[in-house]
Amino acid sequence: MNGASAHDEADTLHQAVSDAFAAGGPLARAEANYRQRDAQLELAAAVARAIDESSVLAAEAGTGVGKTFAYLVPALLSGKRVLVSTATKSLQDQLFLRDLPRLRDALALPIVVALLKGRGSYLCLQRLKHAHHDSAPMDRFVLRALGKIEQWSHRTVSGDLAELEGLDERSPVIPLVSSTRENCLGSECAEFRACHVMKARREAMAADLVVVNHHLFFADIAVRDTGMAELLPSVEVAIFDEAHQLGEAGVAFLGTTLGSAQAIDFSRDMLALGLGHARGLQPWQELAASCDRAARDLRLAAAGPLREVRGTLKLRWDDRATSTAFTEALAALGRASRQAADAIEVVSAIAPDFVKLAERAAALAARAAALALDAVPGRVRWIDLTPQGVRLIESPLDIREAMRAQIAAARKTWIFTSATLGADHRLRWFTEQTGLDDARTLRVDSPFDYAAHACLYVPRNFPKPSEPGHSAQVVRLAAACARAAGGRTFVLTTTLRALASVGEALQQTLEQEGEPIVVLMQGSAPKRQLLQRFVDTPRAVLVGSQSFWEGIDVPGAALQCVIIDKLPFPPPSDPLVEARVKRLEAERRNPFSDYFVAEAALSLKQGAGRLIRSETDRGLLVICDPRMALMGYGRTLRAALPPMRPLRDEEEALAWLREIR
């Protein structure tokens, strides 16, 4: 293409985007409540420019900008092949089922759209068949869910387990009826032609726009087995929404993991397959019991003196790896896996399932052997401990190298966008950890009038989080705010421990005072159900931790007060945090300002973003940490927040809540 025609094409796309967002344009005609927003058009124009130039753009768009349409409209109008990646499967479904159909109809574009998720999201017909003949005992809830899935399997077209009402994504039945890279038989499978995973991949390859998630993107970089390996090279525009979660997703998938659940699942599959197809040819029960026992012993050794574990506990590698019990348990799992691999190989000609089973056993043994050696320089190890299991993880410190390699592989457009990417115009918090130092950056502020509609209260005469009485004062202030607001309050904690103590104490306080305010706590019900109960209950307080700091949308008067218990600094004892601090120190940088304050600023911005979700919303943000008002870095943290009106004392804060109630 010569310079003149490229310029003409750029002008054409820019004009088409302007026309789409115009007052009398197709979006205005299709959407009854459509309003022109200068901020949205600015972002859309920047996306169109990046598409024309096949360049890299990192764009932060504040709440209310309408970033989804701002990137989708130019992408759709460009006529190019597009990949859109977002943070979660529920956001994928929202894009695919709601946003894209509306835009496709409004713009009258004959485009084909596809949705692609990871293997674990789809029903595996072969695994479903095996589940019926599994000799392992199942509780009645699993059996009931299995029966429901069996009925649904005859009428589903996509095989996407998200179609099933009431099936929690953490349900123990899902691993029984979905495949993994390790246990998939590929073209050897009797159900290969009807396979839902392969069907989804074929549809993705034939589509003009494909919606994926960050985990799928990085899983493919790590193992090249998600369908992305064929898809990505054919894409001309790659867009990452909720891009602030890219780093966390990448670190999770670019590492090596050995988990007790992997070993226990393997032992169960080996026992079922061995007894079903090669009974008497190998001591299947002994081999399976050996792997199962080794996995459970590894979990006990990793726990060490810890007896009660809530949620996921991240442990330093060196705190456990030097103990004899841990090294022996890891070696025992390696031996059990190797013995299983040797036994399976003897009978591997009987059925293709045995070939995959032998590969799984060999992979477990290889990971155990690798983790017995010293870590590779530039990588960090840690142990994730849960009430049920353990995962040993070795990962890179960030995704710089992985993203640079992807961008260098082929010339295309790369768009990264989120409501929170940094506290400066260069968006350094995001661009540094992703290796996007040369990307064009853009910050588009929220169109909402925060100064008029939102207030910020930071109590100065308040215990610091490290001082006795801090938690009690958080509960007292939260109860006062909830009374003044008539419920309508989120209390966001930085840890699960604080979630439990604050939530229970707040419930007791309100009950003792005779206040008819319902306290809902994270963990008492699935997230979506809990949120719906909060919206439906006239006087409610929701106490949540990390998963409620972002991705939650409660517009209107249902939520008018957000309380944050303390500044969300990264935990210094976290192994990944420790490794990043050491690297910054080696680079002669200041870890506190360059890392801890920067991370806290982004988290605060996310938490504060729950408060004002529409032009008419009004509310109060309370940060129960006097360091925000008294310390020098507090200025940096306040500057990261939207321009809310500061309040001097508690009485002013409660008066504001009573006024807007």
Q: From 100, 52, 79, select the one nearest 211 (Cα to Cα).
A: 100
Pick the CATH number of 3-111+208-252+399-444 from 2.40.40.20, 3.30.390.10, 2.60.40.10, 3.40.50.300: 3.40.50.300
Angle subtended at Cα 635 by Cα 630 and Cα 640, rounded to the nearest 5 degrees: 135
Burial class (CB in 10 A: 0-12, 13-18, 19+), 447: middle
Strand pairing partners for 213? 86
**Architecture field, domain 256-396:** Orthogonal Bundle (1.10)
- Contacts of residue 131, defined as CB under 8 A and 6 or more positions apart, other chains included, come to 146, 176, 177
Q: From 423, 541, 560, select the one nearest 492 (Cα to Cα).
A: 541
pLDDT digits (tens, 9 = 90+) for 362-371: 999 999 999 9
Radius of gyration of the chain (CA): 26
pLDDT digits (tens, 9 = 90+) for 203-262: 999 999 999 999 988 887 776 666 667 788 889 999 999 999 999 999 888 888 999 999
Q: From 359, 312, 337, 46, select the one nearest 184 (Cα to Cα).
A: 359
Give this prediction's pTM. 0.89
One fold for 256-396 and 450-660: no
Reading the block at residue 98, the tokens are: 């709601």
pLDDT of 1 higher than 70 = no
Reading the block at residue 407, the tokens are: 């961008």
**Architecture field, domain 450-660:** 3-Layer(aba) Sandwich (3.40)
Buried b (16+ CB within 10 A) or exposed e, 8-31: eeeeebbebbeebbeeebbbbeee
Buried b (16+ CB within 10 A) or exposed e, 35-52: eebebbbbbbbbbbbbbb
With contact defined as beta carbons under 8 Å apart, do 340 and 283 qualify? Answer: no
pLDDT digits (tens, 9 = 90+) for 641-655: 999 999 999 999 999
pLDDT at 594: 93
pLDDT of 413 higher than 70 = yes
Element at 240 (helix H, strand E): strand 237-240
pLDDT of 6 higher than 60 = no
pLDDT band at 185 (very low <50, low <70, confident <90, very high): confident
Positive or negative, the CA dihedral 201, 203, 208, 211 is negative
pLDDT of 136 higher than 80 = no
Lay out the sheet containing 237-240: strands in order across: 113-115, 209-213, 82-86, 237-240, 413-418, 56-61, 440-444
Strand pairing partners for 37? none
With contact defined as beta carbons under 8 Å apart, do 239 and 415 qualify? Answer: yes
The ranges assigned to domains in the chain are: 3-111+208-252+399-444, 119-197, 256-396, 450-660
